[in-house]
Amino acid sequence: MGRFVLAASGLGIVLALVLTHPLPWAPATTVLDDGTHDPFQFMWNLWWVRASLVDGLGRPFFTRYLFYPDGISLLFHTYSFSLGLLSLPLQLLLPDGVVSAHNVLVVTAPALCLVATALLARAVTGDAAAALVGATVAVLNPIAVWFLPIIYLSCLWLVALLLWVWWELHARRRGVLVMVALGVVAALVFASQEYAMIALGLLLLDTVVRAAAARRLAMPPLWAGGVIAFWIGCAIGMGGLASVALAEPAQTPPVIQLLLASGYLAGFVTPPWLSAPPAPFWTVLYLGTAPLVVLPIAVWLGGRRAAFWLLGIGVTLAMALGPFVHLHHPLPELRMPPGGFKPTGPPGPYALAMALFPLLRFFRAPYRWVAIAQILLAVVTAFGIAGLRQRAGSAATRTVVTVGALALILALGALDVRGLRAPVVPAAVPAAYDVIRRDPEPSAILELPSGPELDAFGFWSSYYMFYQTVHRKFLLEGTVSRLPPGLTWVLARSFTDFTTVPYVKYVVVHRDLAERSYPSMQTQIAQTEAALATQGIPLVTDGPVRVWQLRTFRPETVR
């Protein structure tokens, strides 16, 4: 086992360094950003774990540092609290702590995913070499590479780890593995709620299949005692979270967002290098050239042992289609047509699942089920390679098969993911914030422009959250997954008289961002600057960044 983990770690580290290059060589000053600005939000998430637990600035799952003065619950936010806990030593020890800690999580995620998937495939197939080669599929595929900048979505290693522990639980029948499985579930719930839901769905499917046909599918038989203990533990934990969630309600995403983020059948099997999708984003649906080549071999040679994993792939891909099944996406360019959009197509399993499990309505992107399908596909690929190795006549031939399969996966995988890796961008707080950072007095800060970028899915408030990790002043909004009832975005507010917000001490306007914003945001800036002419004092102009201090600030209103 030790040598196997070492080999998997070595291969994983090499792939991780290649996939994230040149980020590992500038981990304190740069990040990967795909245009959504999500990494800046997630650096805030990591920082808030430290700020709440170490610095005593608030509670871990509630903050008034966003949407001040009301504050906001982080329970339904893509907070990744458990990843924040992992980052704590890194934040405390590394230079430029939160940036470096975030990048360590980004760079190590592919390596951890490969190791966890390799352990799973080895336990299932019994062939270490095939497992190691097959596990590369879970790392070198379009959706995994696309998700690299976003730690909430790149933590697939936790899903693979849970599936491996679950398999070992039935094979070894040891109580300690039940506790380990529950611990991994807890880590997964607080790292990525969507992945936790998908993983628990797969474990439920596994439970049913083992109970009905474990012997026929050559699976370790169901360990009834361990399974009962596990699901009782899950019920208690999830029930507790549900009760907290009911006390802190959040708005469900609009239906149109769910429909836009649903997959389509042709995307699973259409090579993007052969026929590019209308929007590059839809490349994430493609399962990969090498896995599709190996899939028929796995079906042929894997026999009944591969049946459950093939079933799992079918289920996850069916769910990735969203509420309605389409051969091609009805809005391939992700743009709303004039007059709105009415869903078409027959209802799919996702629609039934939403009716049975209302929690699904809180999740925004069915296509993300494809990421979990890639782990299952890696196991099926390992079955195909193991079958070929078993039919090899000699050790030398088996080596040729193994090396050839690895070369095929790496070469075709590189072709599949070409151009999908997010670019490396600077991660630095503008010097104009120094005057705010040096001010020890608690206060709030208004940052403009507000809202989304004109030609991208990113929100400017993600940048402002990252800047807050340095200046530590309250923000009037933030980039959050789900906005609770009663709270509004800054863009929907008027700032023509700052006496109505006496807790705001500073106003910062980013002219460079305003040029890439919607006209309504530019209008808001003009109205705000008219009020600043009489109620503000210009402090700093550093290139496109302008900082004002307000005469209307009243320290006694800050709490």
pLDDT at 392: 87
Write b or e for each residue in 469-500: b if 16 or more Cβ atoms lie within 10 A of its Cβ, otherwise e.
bbbbbbbbbbbbbbbbeeeebbbeeebeebee
pLDDT tens string for the chain (559 positions)? 889 999 999 999 999 999 999 999 999 999 999 989 999 999 999 999 999 999 999 999 999 999 999 999 898 788 899 999 999 999 999 877 999 999 999 999 999 999 999 999 999 999 999 999 999 999 999 999 999 999 999 999 999 999 999 999 999 999 999 999 999 999 999 999 899 999 999 999 999 999 999 999 989 999 999 999 999 999 998 887 777 666 666 666 677 778 888 999 999 999 999 998 988 899 999 999 999 999 999 999 988 999 999 999 999 999 999 999 999 988 877 777 776 677 788 999 998 888 887 777 778 799 999 999 999 999 999 999 999 999 987 889 999 999 999 999 999 999 999 999 999 999 999 999 999 999 999 999 999 999 998 877 789 999 999 999 999 999 999 998 877 778 889 999 999 999 999 999 999 999 999 999 999 999 999 999 999 999 999 999 999 999 999 999 999 999 8
pLDDT at 246: 62
pLDDT at 142: 97
Pairwise CA distance, residues 35 & 43, whole Å: 15
Q: Give the tokens for residue 169.
A: 């639980």
Using DSSP's 3-state secondary structure scheme, residue 172 falls into helix
Question: DSSP secondary-structure letter at 418?
Answer: T
Side-by-side strand order, sheet with 545-550:
474-475, 444-448, 504-510, 545-550, 536-542
Q: What residue ranges in 180-322 does DSSP mark as E strands?
A: none
Sign of CA dihedral 241, 242, 246, 250: positive
Cis ω for the linkage preceding 449 (within 30 of 0): yes
pLDDT at 559: 84
Question: How far apart, in Å, are the Cα atoms of 236 and each of 74, 242, 539?
Answer: 21, 10, 54
Cis ω for the linkage preceding 519 (within 30 of 0): no
Pairwise CA distance, residues 253 & 259, whole Å: 11
On the CB side of 427, how many CA atoms lie within 13 Å of its CA? 33
Residues 449-479 have pLDDT tens digits of 999 988 777 899 999 999 999 999 999 999 9
Residue with tokens 């019994």: 126
- Give a three-class secondary structure readout of 306-372: HHHHHHHHHHHHHHHCCCECCCCCCCCCCCCCCCCCCCCCCECHHHHHHHHCHHHHHCCCHHHHHHH
Whether 491 and 450 have beta carbons less than 8 Å apart is answered as yes
Question: DSSP secondary-structure letter at 214?
Answer: T
Predicted model pTM: 0.95
Give the distance, in angstroms, between the CA of residue 510 and the centroid of all CA atoms in the same chain.
28
The residues facing 31 across adjacent strands are 425
On the CB side of 458, how many CA atoms lie within 13 Å of its CA? 24
Long-range residue pairs from 218-221, CB within 8 A, at least 24 positions apart, any chain: 218/303, 218/304, 218/305, 219/170, 219/305, 219/308, 220/167, 220/170, 220/171, 221/170
pLDDT at 224: 94
pLDDT at 258: 82
